[in-house]
Amino acid sequence: MLRIAGICICLLAAADANAQTPSPDLAAAAQKQAEVRITDDAGREFEGRLLRADDKIFTVTTPDGDIPFSFERISTIYRRGDSLRNGLIIGLTVGSVVGVLASLGNTTCAAGTYGPCMMTSRASIIGSSIATWTALSVGIDALKRGWTRIYPPRRPRSAALPVQP
């Protein structure tokens, strides 16, 4: 019985310690005073700069002034800016497909003759296609600044399947 009580106390203390610290993304956004978009539990949206964040309350500067928010009343927080990962993936995929399709068949790869391309010519066609499409799609992705969710933090993906009792 004493062992079970000790385990319960340790679990409660660990849960309380975890609740006292904001997520690392939220703390970094507060340190940089990042631009954020907040949606509360009523569905209202607020935009402004994140001034500070502690364990229960964070403050955002809006055109209406500084507004304190409680984490209990917030459904999501997004910070301005996203990665260029989507543009990179799209560029690599489209560039690979277009490059392979462009290098297939009979073309005029060598000095004005019509015939099949050599392997080095095909590789250069595919490589230049990948480079062009990747640069184009990453450039487009960089021009459009998106939003990244920082609260609630995303759960890491697990390879394990949930077990039903």
**Structure-block tokens of residue 140:** 């487009």
Indicate the helix (H) or strand (E) that contains 116: strand 115-116
Looking at the predicted structure, is the pLDDT value of residue 19 above 50?
A: no
pLDDT of residue 18: 45
Q: What is the pLDDT of residues 106-154, one digit of tens each?
A: 666 666 666 666 777 788 889 999 999 999 999 998 888 788 888 776 6
Judge whether 109 and 121 are in contact, CB under 8 Å. Answer: yes
- Verify that 97 and 131 share a domain, yes or no: yes
Structural domain includes residue 126: yes
Looking at the predicted structure, is the pLDDT value of residue 12 above 50?
A: no
Judge whether 76 and 43 are in contact, CB under 8 Å. Answer: no
Radius of gyration of the chain (CA): 26
Q: What is the pLDDT of residues 27-85, one digit of tens each?
A: 777 777 788 888 888 888 888 888 887 778 888 888 888 888 888 888 888 888 778 88
Structural domain includes residue 160: no
136: domain range?
85-143
Looking at the predicted structure, is the pLDDT value of residue 14 above 80?
A: no
CA distance readout (Å), 96 to 63, 68, 76, 99: 47, 49, 37, 5
- Verify that 63 and 113 share a domain, yes or no: no
Structural domain includes residue 164: no
* CATH classification of the domain holding 65: 2.30.30.100
SS3 43: coil
Judge whether 151 and 29 are in contact, CB under 8 Å. Answer: no
- Verify that 76 and 24 share a domain, yes or no: yes
Structural domain includes residue 66: yes
Residues 6+ apart with CB under 8 A from 40: 46, 69, 73, 74, 75
- Verify that 94 and 46 share a domain, yes or no: no
User: Where residue 95 falls among pLDDT bands split at 50, 70, 90?
Assistant: very high
Domain count, the chain: 2
Last residue of a domain, one of 61, 80, 99: 80
- Verify that 24 and 74 share a domain, yes or no: yes
